[in-house]
C-alpha cells in the first residue's frame, strides 16, 4: 500500500482571514507535502526492508542512519505534515479549559507557555519544527526539531501541537518575519481542541 496525501480537513481558503492564505495552503499541501509522499513511496518501492511497514515504523527504523537520511527526511516530513494540517483550525486560538489548566500547571501561565513556544520556534536555526509535547513524565513541554525530525524520532513525548517553521510555511504571508507567523499561529490558528483531545487520549 502506497502512502497517500491526506485531504486538508478544511477548504484551502478557510484560514485566509486568520493569516494563512489560500496560495500558501495549496502550495504547502499540494506541492510540498505531496512531494514528500511521492519521494517516500519511491524509496519504499525500491527497498524491501521498508515494505509493509507503517509510517511510524519507517521513521524509527531510518532515524540516525546516514545511509537512510533521505528516507528519514521524507517519512518524517510526511508524519509531521499529517499532524500539522490537524493543528490548524478556522476557529483556532481558543484554549479549552482542561488544556488551559494543564498548561498553567506545567508552565505557570498561558503566556509563559506561548513565550516558550515562540522561543523554540524562532531559535530553530533554518528549517524545522516547534512542538508542544506530553513528556513521559506526564508534564507538558516545548521542544524543537530540525528539518524532518519529530518527537517520535527523538523519543521526546507525545506531540499535541506542532508548528512547521520551514520558510515555505510562512513566506507568502509573513515574508522573513517568522516571529509574527509564530505569534499568529498561537493566537489565531492553533487547534487547541485537537491538542486537548490528544492530551485526553494519552
Stretch that binds Mn ion, among 63-71, 85-93, 160-168, 176-184 (CB under 5 A): 160-168
Distance of closest approach, residue 165 Cβ to Mn ion, in angstroms: 9
Distance of closest approach, residue 49 Cβ to Mn ion, in angstroms: 27
Give the three cell numbers for residue 196.
486537548
Whole-number Å distance between alpha carbons of 103 and 97: 10
Q: Which residues contact 119 (CB under 8 A, 6 or more apart)?
A: 142
Q: Which one, 20 or 95, has the nearer CB to Mn ion?
A: 20
Stretch that binds Mn ion, among 37-45, 51-59, 68-76, 161-169 (CB under 5 A): 161-169
| H and E: helices and strands count for the chain | 9, 3
Which of 113, 164, 186, 189 touches Mn ion (CB under 5 A)? 164
Place of cell 524562532: 122
- On whether the CB atoms of residues 144 and 83 are closer than 8 A, the answer is no
- Closest residue by beta carbon to Mn ion: 164
196 binds Mn ion, rule: CB under 5 A: no
Q: Which one, 83 or 199, has the nearer CB to Mn ion?
A: 83
Please tell me whether residue 202 adopts helix, strand or coil conformation.
coil
Phi, psi of 163 (to 5 degrees): -125, 125
Q: Which one, 166 or 194, has the nearer CB to Mn ion?
A: 166
Q: Which residues bind Mn ion (CB under 5 A)?
A: 164, 166
Amino acid at each position: 500500500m502506497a502512502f497517500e496525501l491526506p485531504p486538508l480537513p478544511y477548504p484551502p481558503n478557510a484560514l485566509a482571514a486568520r493569516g494563512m492564505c489560500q496560495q500558501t495552503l495549496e502550495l504547502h499541501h499540494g506541492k510540498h507535502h505531496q512531494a514528500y509522499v511521492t519521494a517516500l513511496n519511491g524509496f519504499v518501492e525500491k527497498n524491501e526492508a521498508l515494505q509493509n511497514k507503517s509510517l511510524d515504523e519507517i521513521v524509527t527504523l531510518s532515524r540516525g542512519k546516514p545511509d537512510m537520511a533521505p528516507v528519514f527526511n521524507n517519512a518524517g516530513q510526511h508524519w509531521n505534515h499529517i499532524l500539522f494540517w490537524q493543528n490548524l483550525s478556522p476557529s483556532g486560538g481558543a484554549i479549552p479549559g482542561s488544556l488551559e489548566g494543564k498548561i498553567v500547571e506545567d508552565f505557570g501561565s498561558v503566556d509563559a507557555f506561548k513565550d516558550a513556544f515562540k522561543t523554540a520556534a524562532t531559535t530553530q536555526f533554518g528549517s524545522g519544527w516547534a512542538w508542544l509535547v506530553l513528556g513521559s513524565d506526564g508534564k507538558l513541554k516545548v521542544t524543537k526539531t530540525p528539518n524532518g525530525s519529530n518527537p517520535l524520532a527523538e523519543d521526546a513525548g507525545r506531540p499535541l501541537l506542532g508548528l512547521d517553521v520551514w520558510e515555505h510555511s510562512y513566506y507568502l504571508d509573513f515574508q522573513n518575519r517568522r516571529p509574527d507567523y509564530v505569534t499568529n499561529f498561537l493566537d489565531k490558528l492553533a487547534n487547541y481542541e485537537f491538542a486537548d483531545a490528544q492530551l485526553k487520549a494519552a
